[in-house]
Amino acid sequence: MEVYIIMIIGWLSLMSLGNIQWQETIGGADDDYLYSVRQTLDGGYILAGNSKSAVSGDKTEPAIGGGSTYDYWIIKLNATGNIVWQNTIGGNNNDYVNTIEQTDDGGYIVGGNSSSPDSGDKSEDVMGESDYWVVKLDDVGNIQWQNTIGGNAIDNLLSINPNPASDKINIIINNFPAQLKFMIYPVT
């Protein structure tokens, strides 16, 4: 069993030197990995990780792929580290989250890679071995839209950033075995 261990250490300019403000261990009964943490506009935190856990421990939703594959696991914490909501998102095969960012509307843009066909929460088929999977969530974690982007090989999404000046998102990708690329996609 793997678990998330979250420790928030106060900033030097705002808090005492290096004092832990709070810490929390979050996880289910199987493998759970944390890949991205961002502070949210309300002073809380949004976590993005991968999970194979069924309903157990802190996990309140079943694994989409039946527990044999990884799903995105998105968790919203309040400012003191308590879980406000969570959402397990995925298809029947492996889905690996890499990054999450808050958007201007208070929701979230989530990016990662997927090997899943049209199944579970995934509404588009995989085009290659693994494709970019971008998911837009509202402020309480409901899927607003999603997009599977890729070719016929392995496509890895490394980071994603909403561009508030336009209706586009900036995505940094790595198409195996090609070089690192920067792409801009319309938000649809």
Q: Can you give the pLDDT at residue 116?
A: 95
Choice between 70 and 149, residue whose per-residue pLDDT is larger: 70
Q: Can you give the pLDDT at residue 11?
A: 38
Q: Can you give the pLDDT at residue 186?
A: 55
* Pair 105, 136: CB distance under 8 Å: no
Domain that holds residue 172: 4-186
Quickly state the pLDDT bin for 188 (edges 50, 70, 90). very low
Comparing 59-63, 65-69, 135-139, 146-150, the range with the smallest average pLDDT is 65-69
What pLDDT digit, counting tens, does each position of 150-177 carry?
888 887 787 787 766 666 666 665 555 4
* Model confidence, pTM: 0.84
Is the pLDDT assigned to residue 85 strictly greater than 90? Answer: yes
Q: What is the mean pLDDT of residues 108-123?
A: 94
Q: Can you give the pLDDT at residue 14?
A: 43
Render 121-176 in DSSP notation, one character per residue: TB-S---SSBEEEEEEE-TTS-EEEEEEE--SSEEEEEEEEEETTTTEEEEEEEEE
Peptide bond into 186 cis (omega under 30): no
- Domain count for the chain, please give it: 1
Spell out the residues 6+ positions from residue 165 whose beta carbon is closer than 8 angstroms to its own.
none
Spell out the residues 6+ positions from residue 18 whose beta carbon is closer than 8 angstroms to its own.
9, 10, 12
> How many other CB atoms are found less than 10 A from the CB of residue 173?
20
Give CA–CA dist 111/106, Å, rounded.
Answer: 17
Choice between 4 and 60, residue whose per-residue pLDDT is larger: 60
Q: Can you give the pLDDT at residue 6?
A: 47
What pLDDT digit, counting tens, does each position of 7-54 carry?
444 433 344 556 778 888 899 999 999 999 999 999 999 999 999 999
Give CA–CA dist 98/13, Å, rounded.
Answer: 29
Give CA–CA dist 30/62, Å, rounded.
Answer: 12
Q: How far is Cα of residue 186 from the mean position of the Cα atoms in its chain?
A: 19
